[in-house]
Structure 1
Amino acid sequence: MPPTVKKVLHWLVWGFLIYAIITNPDRAADIVRAIWDIISQGVLNIGRFFSSIVNG
């Protein structure tokens, strides 16, 4: 993909994010919270996996 197309897509994504936050901040916060929960649970599960491997 040419750099110009990447730059345009990058600005479109950021513009959409800003639009979504301005028009519906509560929903945007819920989405961020849900993404954070998914990431944190994933990290915890990876930690549990390696802990079970080490502890046998």
Structure 2
Amino acid sequence: MAQAKKVTFWVLAVFVGYTIIHSPARAAELVQIGFEGISDAAKSIGEFMTQLIN
């Protein structure tokens, strides 16, 4: 099981490195989309918690 995790990690790392080198603009766009999603989720959780208090 630990060996599978190592292999998966290295395959993912190589893929990310290749994507960044091959298409840096697209990689930056994907990172931006990811951070926007995290930000939207945090805002939604904050609004939910605020509604629970009120």
Q: TM-score, normalised on structure 1?
A: 0.90
Distance 1:46 1:39 in 2: 11
Runs of 4+ with deviation above 4 angstroms: none
Stretches of structure 2 that go unaligned for 5 or more consecutive residues are: none
Aligned length: 54
- Which residue number corresponds to residue 12 of structure 2? 13
Q: CA offset at residue 42 of structure 1?
A: 0.3
Bigger Rg, structure 1 or 2: 1
Q: What is the 5 A alignment of 1:20-31?
A: 20-31=19-30
Q: What is the 5 A alignment of 1:30-49?
A: 30-49=29-48
Stretches of structure 1 that go unaligned for 5 or more consecutive residues are: none
